[in-house]
Structure 1
Amino acid sequence: MAIKIEMPKLSDTMEEGVIAKWNISEGDKVEAGDVIAEVETDKATMEVEAFDPGTVLKILVDEGDAVPLGGIMAIVGEEGEDISDLLKEADSANGESSSEDKSEKKSSDKEKKKEPSDKKEFDPILEGVDSGNGKEEKEEVDEETDQTDDDGRIKASPLARKMAEDKGIKLSAVDGSGPEGRIIKRDIENYKPSDAKKEGAVQAPSFASEEDEEIKISQMRKAIARRLSESKFNNPHFYETIDIDMERAIDARVALNEFSEVKISFNDIVVKASAMALRKHPEVNSSWLGDTIRKHGDVNVAVAVAIDEGLMTPVLNHTDKKTLQQISTETRELAGLARDRKLQPEQMEGSTFTISNLGMFGIEEFTAIINPPNACILAVGAIRDVPVVKDGEVVPGKRMKVTLSSDHRIVDGAKAAQFLNTLRTMIENPLAMML
């Protein structure tokens, strides 16, 4: 009996999946547990396995096509089995015509385009031309109206172009008298070198138009657009920025890396300091649930990782209880999985706070959109060399700006400021994080 292979739900927020790659072809034999396809969801690229053995009788969608949840992707059964009923069901479930129908439709469309139209269109150049005029004059008019250049080139009729080429005349030196300044036959016949534009006159350069490119939106980009639009317009954001003295953090990092088996980054220090500050300020470590506010018992910090398709936010669970070495090791491992699109959904769920760091790109200060259902997100800028005043003298200093975006339904301005001051204390006094 033939069996449908349907699009499974591979993440909690998934609404449809895109076939990234088929690992099978029609006629192949599959066993239960074989990985038959890779499907791109809104969070990651996941493998889809066959649950039943059989022969692949039909693949109903191409690579790159989106399939709704429950949509039929392929049919497996016994070789030679009649699957016509399942094909009709697949057309209905997927909401589109079968591949054969689509092929026929394309052929039909092409034929329609080739069919000449009997309808005569109004031609402003031919308007008023007497049908009794000489044949030569009408042929000239037809020739001159034969072509219009819309690609940025000089507009000229084919006959005028040929005449100019034969006479060695540059079209750029000829003023056109035809419609929209088009150069026609009489312009070439009447052209005199003295009519050319004066030598040394500045002419506006002519550029050919570049082709636009349309990029198909990935499932991840769709999810990012939907979630962040909802966050920005539904959550009342406000922003607070502080400037942090990084001199002690720089010295502490150098000392730590002399003994640490893994390299400690400034981002690791910010993550650890934020986690400890969240423990002291549970209002910031909260979520809005409509009728209630949930103050999370665990501190789970998500770290934004940039990939080609957008951003992924792997989560460090129990961040406040981990050492800097553990944070560094886990962050690098999760970031690598994110860039390879191998993060599992459970590795991106359960965050209570998010950190986005653009300091490595030289960005000094920015604001970030809250990652729901978090109450806040911290935007971290670059460490800057700036003049500062110490003991009444201007001396070189190291500063880093961080901006906290907060959901005003959960966090008030004073609470956000208290959190930022605790964070600054932690970073400016790294030994406090060791207690």
Structure 2
Amino acid sequence: MPIKVLMPALSPTMTEGTLAKWLKKEGDQVSSGDVIAEIETDKATMEVESADEGILGKIVVPDGTEGVKVNEVIGYLLEEGEDASAIEQGGESKPAPKPETPKEEPKAEAPKEQPKQEAPKAEAKPATQPAAADKGERLFVSPLARRMAEQAGLDLAAVTGSGPNGRIVKADIEAALSKGGAKAPAAAAGAPQAAAPAAAAALPQSNPDVPGLPSYTEVPNSSMRKVIAKRLTESKLTAPHFYLTIDCEIDKLLAVRKELNEKAGDSGYKLSVNDLVIRATALALKKVPAANATWTESAIRIYDQVDISVAVAIDEGLITPVIRDAGSKGLVEISAEMKDLAKRARERKLKPEEFQGGTFSISNLGMFGIKDFAAVINPPQGAILAVGAGEQRPVVKNGALAIATVMSCTLSVDHRVVDGAIGAEFLAAFKKLIEDPMTMLL
């Protein structure tokens, strides 16, 4: 009996995903453990391994299909001695019987009931034709690139992909549009019938209801953007935020960083200010464990281990890879791990356990020149530290005016978990470490 290949749940919260690409073709031999497809979740692109072996007899869900529900049939494996007919006999998924319906109706009943069957045929063609066309073209296109091409009416067949295996990505679409890429007549013809409302919403429009409002372009929300919107709205509505800001002089920290990097030589590491901030945060949380906590309805959870989530900006939004047990790691180890996590985050290659489950967050916008800001707490965590840019400011030392490099840091706190005194105690410990960085090396 054919073996169903199901859409996997790649994280505890995943309900649907995008089947980015099949790595096996129909007719290919599949062994247990072979990587057969790439699945895009809201945060990462992950490879899916086959748990069974056989021949990939049918691909039910083609490349680039979005919104595929967990446990939905995406393909079939044939066991030894079976052929494609076994899928029609033993398969229970809805996609399998669909091709039989239009074949039987024209032969048996089309001459007698043509007026009654015209409406169903008109509805069926727009729904099935695009999928069949995509499958026939065998184009490898990222979901974002496909949406951009549809919005612009661009013919994907005329675009050369620069991604892995010739996959068409966002940059390829932008390049084609800048050169005046060929329009897609099939998509233009099908749009009024199959997806008129969606296509109209995605194209530049003017709004006659609001005089003076300029025309606009709607960019469809990605899965990641929807999750960000949901979680941060939940955070602001349910967690009573309050904010504490402290200024840290970082001249000594910059000098220590410079000295350590010079001594590194050819050893390969290069410490950043962010690496030192992560180290200081971890040590401060070990000194004030009450700030390393989350809220539940029955109790406040104070964690024994400091797992720091660090915000990393990627094309479609934000992701927070986690430095596990940061309190027990040195600067060089933190630096190497952070560089690796950030690189794979931008490539959307992180595993769920690498960006879920942190106990405290850091968001650093200093590299963009932002002086200070207040970040939104990453639920269910109890606090997040927003780090601004170091800049020279006038300060008073020993009753005299002087110049120092000052970095403003703002702690956003869930008042259900952390009171003002605990937040202040944490920031005082953090400031002491930042201003006397040699203590971080002990």
Instruction: Judge same fold: TM > 0.5, yes or no.
Output: yes
Aligned to 2:313: 306
Which of 344, 349, 362 in structure 2 is aligned with 1:342?
349
Deviation at 1:404, TM superposition (A): 0.4
Q: Which of the numbers 223, 228, 250 marks the counterpart of 1:224?
A: 228
**Contact 1:296/1:352 (8 A) holds in 2:** yes
Partner of 1:259: 263
C-alpha separation in 2, matches of 1:228 and 1:407: 13
Q: Look up the match of 2:20.
A: 20
- Aligned pairs for 1:374-413 within 5 A: 374-413=381-420
Contact 1:13 1:42 in 2 (8 A): no
One-letter amino acid of the structure 1 residue matched with residue 304 of structure 2: G
**1:416 corresponds to 2:423:** yes
Q: CA deviation at 1:299?
A: 1.2
Q: CA deviation at 1:216?
A: 5.0
1:362 corresponds to 2:363: no
Secondary structure of the structure 1 residue equivalent to 2:85:
coil
CA distance in 1 between counterparts of 2:333 and 2:235 reads 31
Q: How many residues align?
A: 340
Change (3 A) 1:357 1:98: farther
Question: As a proportion of its length, which structure holds more helix?
Answer: 2
- Counterpart contact for 1:60–1:99, Cα < 8 Å: no
Deviations 1:127-185 (A, max 9, x none): xxxxxxxxxxxxxxxxxxxxxxx999xxxxxxxxxxxxxxxxxxxxxxxxxxxxxxxxx
Deviations for 1:101-133, whole angstroms, at most 9, x for unmatched residues? 89963537989x89xxxxxxxxxxxxxxxxxxx
Deviation sequence 1:324-378 (CA, Å, 0-9, x none)? 1111111111111211211112222331111110110111111111112221110
Structure 1's 37 and 428: CA in aligned 2 closer, same or farther, altered over 3 A?
same
Task: Give distance in 2, aligned partners of 1:49 and 1:108.
Answer: 33
The 1:103–1:46 alpha-carbon spacing in structure 2 relative to 1, beyond 3 Å, is: farther
Alignment of 1:179-328 (within 5 A): 212-215=217-220, 217-218=222-223, 220-260=224-264, 261=267, 262-328=269-335
Secondary structure of the residue aligned to 2:305 is coil
**C-alpha distance in 1 between matches for 2:100 and 2:306:** 50
* TM-score between the two structures when normalised by the length of structure 2: 0.70
- Counterpart position of 1:67: 68
Change (3 A) 1:324 1:393: same
Answer whether contact 1:253 1:265 (CA < 8 A) is retained.
yes
3-state SS, counterpart of residue 56 of structure 1: strand
Q: Distance in 2 between matches of 1:405 and 1:103?
A: 58
Query: Is contact 2:58-2:84 (8 Å) kept?
Result: no
Query: Under a length normalisation based on structure 1, what TM-score does the superposition of the two structures give?
Result: 0.71
Opposite residue 74 of structure 1, the aligned amino acid is: G
Alignment match, 2:154: none
Q: How far off is 1:308 after superposition? A: 1.0
Distance 1:108 1:223 in 2: 30
Secondary structure of the equivalent of 2:94? helix
Equivalent position SS for 1:327: helix
Aligned-pair identity (%): 46
> Is 1:105 the counterpart of 2:146 in the alignment?
no
Cα distance change of structure 1 residues 241 and 328 upon mapping to structure 2, 3 Å threshold: same
String of CA shifts for 1:48-81, please: whole Å, max 9, x gaps. Answer: 1223333333222232322111100012223232
| Contact 2:308/2:322 (<8 A) preserved | yes
Change (3 A) 1:245 1:20: same
Distance 1:215 1:373 in 2: 27
1:211 & 1:434 partners in 2: Cα distance?
Answer: 53
On the 8 A contact 1:2/1:81 being kept in 2, the answer is: no
Q: What is the alpha-carbon distance in structure 2 between the residues aligned to residue 246 and residue 347 of structure 1?
A: 30
Change in Cα spacing, 1:151 to 1:360, as seen in structure 2 (3 Å) is closer
Instruction: Summarize the Cα distance change of 1:343–1:84 in structure 2 as closer, same or farther, 3 Å threshold.
Output: same
One-letter identity of the residue aligned with 1:419: F
Q: CA contact under 8 A between 2:31 and 2:50: conserved in structure 1?
A: yes
Mapped partners of 1:210, 1:267: distance in 2: 41
Question: Which of 281-290 and 81-90 deviates more?
Answer: 81-90
The answer (yes or no) to whether the contact 2:23–2:35 under 8 Å persists in 1 is yes
**Alignment correspondent of 2:7:** 7
Distance 1:151 1:299 in 2: 49
Root-mean-square deviation (Å): 3.0
Residue 293 (structure 1) shift: 1.0
Following superposition, the deviation at residue 36 of structure 1 comes to 1.5
Larger-Rg structure? 1
Distance 2:349 2:126 in 1: 43
SS in 1 for 2:385: strand
Once residues 353 and 345 of structure 1 are traced to their aligned partners in structure 2, the CA distance between those partners, rounded to angstroms, is 17
Cα distance change, pair 86–68 in 1 and its aligned pair in 2 (3 A): farther
Q: Distance in 2 between matches of 1:98 and 1:337?
A: 41
Name the CA shift for 1:225/1:86 in 2 (closer, same or farther; >3 Å): farther
Shift of 1:88: 5.1
